[in-house]
Amino acid sequence: MAGSRRKARPLLRAVVELANAANGVRPLAREGYPTIPVFAFGWPTSEMSPLCLTGSVLDALRRGIRGDFTGARGRIALLLTMIAWALLWLTHRRNVAAQPHFEDPLRAVLGADYQAIAEAAKSSRRRYVGVPPNEIIRRRYVQKAGTVTYGPHGRVNRADIWRRSDLPRDGKAPVLLQVPGGAWSIGMRRPQAYPLLSHLAEHGWVCVSIDYRVSPRHTWPDHIVDVKRALAWIKVHIAEYGGDPDFVAITGGSAGGHLSALAALTPDDPQYQPGFEDADTSVVAAVPIYGRYDWVSAQGNGRREFIAFLQKFVVKKRITEHRQVYVDASPSYRLRPDAPPFFILHGRDDSIIPVPEGREFAAALQEVSTSPVVYAEIPHAQHAFDFYYGSPRAHYTAQAVEEFLSWVQATRQRA
């Protein structure tokens, strides 16, 4: 009996490995609360598949030496494990092949020569970027304090500034504000968007990554008010770090995607700028990634659960009694002809925020805005596909965002 139990474990483990690999290929759930563990287990598998594959192979060798794959059950376990390896390899090959899905939408909207136009802005930055590309400096300023405090709320109003050590203080480098995600209840600036921030810093940008007040301790609209405070701080102080206050773009993923889109569509809106109504909070471009753009509709996968979450933890008001609060908080209801250029990215296999959210927001904004609106829908990509340094999709995201923002910078310089 003891030997039977011992041999049953490799088979069970193989089944779990196969299920996890299959979940990385395609999410096993797309509705309701099961989407949370599906994402939690599926994201490492989908974005770190080479590491998962290497670890599984090495562990299988160890277990094979131990004798776990002897007998009928053991052979079945080894077969299932090898099928999981094949799925992990498939996942990696799809990731590597994703680059056109980032570039083609930019070409379709900005024109076939968009990279040549973007190169003009990138070339202008090279005049003050002279150290080798691998010497990237991430600094947290001010003076000896180690961080920037951009607002009155202490530890939750802090930011990291990313810049190269050879960037002169009068460099007038373009600036990107990064707004972290986390369901409006985490909001940690570290380590979100590190591949993007390090890539841009390497290429002569100044990047600001913030914390902000989060729920349930804080209540909407504290979150967007802090994002606006950060923009106001940047406009006043970023020149001290070599940044150009006249070229400030904004990005963020998930809840940060929502907040960055809302900030871009509500420049100088006194509703979200209490006590600093006259501050400039406009941006020249926005790059929301897998964001929530509609806080009103209950139609679609997971939306009833999402509205219930907002009512209980974030807004803390019933939508039936305070509908306008939810309308005002929805970028989909804030569309405007003078919106800045947008580059919207969403993964087609996102199990946390289903892809129709990004698709519908992009289509609606394209109908209204007079500025370019680029929508990139990335096949097979889960939520948070841009987090991991070693992920091809994270690399392609950083490249595509730089190309888009450099195009915006170059076209503004030519105007």
Ordered DSSP codes for 216-275:
TTS-TTHHHHHHHHHHHHHHHHGGGGTEEEEEEEEEEETHHHHHHHHHHHSTT-GGG-TT
CB 84 within 8 A of CB 45: no
Active site residue 383: yes
Closest CA to 283 of 294, 300, 269, 303: 269
Instruction: Catalytic residue, from 49, 215, 254, 369: name it.
Output: 254
C-alpha 345/C-alpha 355 separation (Å) is: 10
Dihedrals phi, psi of 159, to nearest 5 degrees: -150, 150
Closest CA to 309 of 299, 295, 322, 327: 295
Instruction: Catalytic residue, from 383, 386, 391, 406: name it.
Output: 383
C-alpha 47/C-alpha 51 separation (Å) is: 9
CB 282 within 8 A of CB 268: yes
Active site residue 199: no
Active site residue 350: yes
Between the CA atoms of 241, 244, 245 and 248, what dihedral angle is there, to the nearest 10 degrees? -110
User: Which positions are annotated as active-site residues?
Assistant: 254, 350, 383
